[in-house]
Structure formats: C-alpha cells, structure tokens
Amino acid sequence: MLRMSQVVAVLAAMTVGVSAHAAEQGTADEAVTMTKRAVAHIKSAGPEKAYAEIIAKDPRFNDRDLYVIVYDLQGKCVAHGANPKLVGKDLLENQDADGKFYVKERVEKAKAGAPFWQDYKFTDPVTRKIEPKSTYCERLNDTAVCVGIYKR
C-alpha cells in the first residue's frame, strides 16, 4: 500500500510540473488577444506613448514568453517588448536559424492587410534556446503589430 501511494505521489508531482511548464508558456489565443490589445492601445494612446509602454515591458504587452513587436512596412522595428536594442533597426534582412527571411516575409504578408500567422525559428527569451515559433500579426496603418508563441 505504501508503494502505491509513493507511485501516486510521483505521478502527481510530474503532472504539476507539466502544468506549471504549460502555464509559463503563452498560448495562441493569448497571442491573438495581446495583439488586439496592443492594436487598440496604439489607436487610443497614439504610437509614441504605446510604443514606449511596449518597450518598457508594460505587463499588458509582456507576459511570460509573450511580447509585442511592431515593425514598419519597410522592416524597421519601432517597438519590441523583449529586446529594446532592436528598436530603430532595419531588420528586413534578418534570417532565422534555417535561413528564412522572416521579417521580409512578415512585412509582405502585412502589406496584404489580412491578419496572419507566420512560422519560423527564434531564440526564446525564457529558455535562451532557438525554438520553433509562430507569430500572429495584424496590420495597423503602416505597421505590423505582432505577438508570437514558442512551440516547445
């Protein structure tokens, strides 16, 4: 009987560990919600104020491994919720680990106007490893507002 309770305790601990890991990771629905929240905020507060809040890692725009990125339609990063050093840089020619020009593709898709998901690989700010990533973007005026999820 004691042995069975030990097995149950171990299984319960493993389940809690898996649940805790999942809770640390943003979901696709959360990425879409955060993107829409950022778009609405940029519209209401104006780009200057909203971008500053995104860059400052305001919790509305930065949660666990979810963060907002805004590009102009020439590929320049105008706001980045995880890496403020990228703000103001032309990232059009950036490639992922597989050589995919993901910013160029993102800008082209944004120019079409419809919201979209894009797959590529990127360094996860939580694990610091290159992970498969899927990013949801919406066009707002001459920008693409995006939030991605890591597929661990």
Domain boundaries, the chain: 27-150
Percent of the chain clearing pLDDT 90 (strictly above): 77
Nearest to 76 by CA among 88, 59, 60: 88
pLDDT score at 23: 58
Write out pLDDT tens, residues 118-149.
999 988 877 889 999 999 999 999 999 999 99
| C-alpha angle 80-30-32 in degrees, rounded to nearest 5 | 70
CATH tag, 27-150 = 3.30.450.20
Write out pLDDT tens, residues 30-72.
999 999 999 999 999 999 999 999 999 999 999 999 999 999 9
pLDDT score at 6: 47
Confidence band (pLDDT; 50, 70, 90) for 85?
very high
Res. 9: pLDDT tops 90: no
The letter for the amino acid at 124 is D
Res. 74: pLDDT tops 60: yes
Distances (CA, A) of 82 to 13, 17, 54: 32, 26, 9
Cβ-proximal residues to 41 (8 Å cutoff; 6+ apart), any chain: 50, 53, 60, 61
Res. 10: pLDDT tops 70: no
What token pair was written down for 111?
């120019």
Nearest to 134 by CA among 144, 149, 146: 149
CB count in 10 Å sphere of residue 119: 14
pLDDT score at 141: 97
